[in-house]
Structure 1
Amino acid sequence: MDFFEASLHAAWKLVLSGDPQLWRIVSTSLRISLTAVAVSALIAVPLGVLIGMRAFPGRRWLRQLLASLTALPTVVVGLLLYALLSRRGPLGDWGLLYTPAAVVIGEAVLILPLLLHWISTLVSGADPRLLPTLEALGAGGFHKLWYLASELRAGIAAALVTAFGRAIAEVGVAMMLGGNIAGFTRTMTTAIALETGRGEFELALALGMILLAVAFTVNALLAWLQAGD
């Protein structure tokens, strides 16, 4: 008990002192996860709205596939992308492995099915009068996408917040594709795993406290968005 109390006290001192190493890890983690969400959103929002509002052959199977992919093991994503990005892989010449870009790609691939499933389900469950009304008003394809996304913006924002929560807590993809390089690709989750193994429990605990604070903030924001929807 004395060890835990001492470690907790030391962790608080690290957080409050503005330790450069600690906050460099936090900023790297936040930057990578936010970029991954932004990249995924550029694809998922228009495509998810399109899947949700249009009936086409195989749509039901596609949505089932997306639902299944939301539970895809992160190490599987990391393994497949590692094979693609390694020097012996088809994309090895790009030199992306063990860079922040590789971690962004990994997290974006991981959360993309989640966003597509959530947004397409949100659109398909919207007021059935909305799409016919837009068509009656002469709205074209782009305008229908825009108006549907605007009408469902609270739900889409909730999906993005959920995706960020998944990305910021990711460890398998970040470790396999980023290499846990100090000051470059080391995120909160990979640093916690490393520092715990090295016996640097104070730094690991400080990072864990910050990660819990981020998770609490994400959940509070999600609850607020859902309550206002």
Structure 2
Amino acid sequence: MEILEIILTSLYVSLTSTAIASIIAILLAVPFSIKDFKLKRAIYRIADSLMAMPPVVMGLIVFIILSKRGPLGELNLLFTPTAMIIAQMLLILPIIFVLTVRQIEKIAPTIQKNCYMLGGDYGDFLFLIINECKGEIFTSVTSGFSRAISEVGAVMMVGGNIKGYTRVMTTFIALETSKGNFKDALIIGLILLAISFLINIILHSLKGRETNEYIN
């Protein structure tokens, strides 16, 4: 029963944080990729650098913000699944954003030119961009989810690894390994590995289906 709760908590936190980060990242990445402005290169470099941010640093930042003395301390979010979602969301947001921007920038000029030549407007252009890059965008989202569900430092720091409440698969593995309980840690580790494999299988299946539809 405890293992099931841990798995469900892990999936809830990781899927929620990935969904929020994906929506924000894609909404920002599309206009960012097709518009030119003064600070564009600087913002991209910052986002690219944030992709490699150590999870414990992000956990520390969120911990300070949500602590009693922090600006959001009155919300009492520390050591809750919400705090874990915030930490994971901030951690994977740059990943999804940068990977999406890289893909869109490759094809945006060609699509924009063809769209406007055929009489399309800006809305048509945005729709075509997202439609043409949906496979790559899905890959970016999957990369973010993989990072989220395998993360341990930040979620342990802001979640507290509380049994039956904020304990997830990665923090369970860390705890049980430190106690010398390798059997349970290995079981959860294998389940986590199986979830990762399942995600990759779904990704390749969707990509293969999209390729076949395009060829036909």
User: So what's the TM-score if we normalise by structure 2?
Assistant: 0.90
Shift of residue 222, structure 1, vs aligned partner: 4.3
- Aligned pairs (5 A) from 1:162-173: 162-173=143-154
- Tell me the distance in 2 between the aligned counterparts of 1:84 and 1:119: 28
- Tell me the distance in 2 between the aligned counterparts of 1:165 and 1:174: 14
Contact 1:98/1:178, CA 8 A, preserved across alignment:
yes
Contact 2:108/2:129, CA 8 A, preserved across alignment:
no
List 4+ stretches of structure 1 deviating above 6 A. Answer: none
Shift of residue 74, structure 1, vs aligned partner: 0.5
Shift of residue 143, structure 1, vs aligned partner: 4.4
Moved more, 156-165 or 58-67: 58-67
Match 1:70 to one of 51, 68, 74: 51
- Tell me the distance in 2 between the aligned counterparts of 1:135 and 1:180: 54
Shift of residue 210, structure 1, vs aligned partner: 0.6
Relative to structure 1, the CA distance from residue 198 to residue 116 in structure 2 (aligned partners, 3 Å threshold; closer, same or farther) is same
Moved more, 165-174 or 54-63: 54-63
Corresponding residue of 1:111 = 92
Which 5+ residue runs of structure 2 have no aligned equivalent? 212-216
- Tell me the distance in 1 between the aligned counterparts of 2:200 and 2:38: 36
Corresponding residue of 1:124 = 105
What is the DSSP-based 3-state SS (H/G/I as helix, E as strand, rest coil) of the residue aligned with 1:126? helix
Shift of residue 195, structure 1, vs aligned partner: 1.3
Match 2:76 to one of 84, 95, 104: 95
Contact 1:69/1:113, CA 8 A, preserved across alignment:
yes
Contact 2:21/2:90, CA 8 A, preserved across alignment:
yes
User: Is 1:161 the counterpart of 2:142 in the alignment?
Assistant: yes
Shift of residue 46, structure 1, vs aligned partner: 1.4
- Tell me the distance in 2 between the aligned counterparts of 1:39 and 1:123: 20
- Aligned pairs (5 A) from 1:193-204: 193-204=174-185
Contact 1:45/1:149, CA 8 A, preserved across alignment:
no
Contact 1:192/1:204, CA 8 A, preserved across alignment:
yes
Q: How many residues align?
A: 209
RMSD of aligned residue pairs (Cα, Å): 1.7
Contact 1:32/1:100, CA 8 A, preserved across alignment:
yes
Shift of residue 145, structure 1, vs aligned partner: 2.7
User: Is 1:139 the counterpart of 2:121 in the alignment?
Assistant: yes
Contact 2:173/2:189, CA 8 A, preserved across alignment:
yes
Shift of residue 224, structure 1, vs aligned partner: 4.9
User: Is 1:41 the counterpart of 2:41 in the alignment?
Assistant: no
- Aligned pairs (5 A) from 1:186-197: 186-197=167-178
User: Is 1:79 the counterpart of 2:60 in the alignment?
Assistant: yes
Identity in percent? 39
User: Is 1:23 the counterpart of 2:4 in the alignment?
Assistant: yes
AA partner of residue 176 (structure 2): E
Identify which of structures 1 and 2 has the higher relative contact order when contacts are C-alpha pairs closer than 8 Å and 6+ apart: 1
**1:8-34 Cα deviation digits (max 9, x unpaired):** xxxxxxxxxxxx111110111011100
Shift of residue 147, structure 1, vs aligned partner: 2.9
- Tell me the distance in 1 between the aligned counterparts of 2:82 and 2:138: 24
User: So what's the TM-score if we normalise by structure 1?
Assistant: 0.85
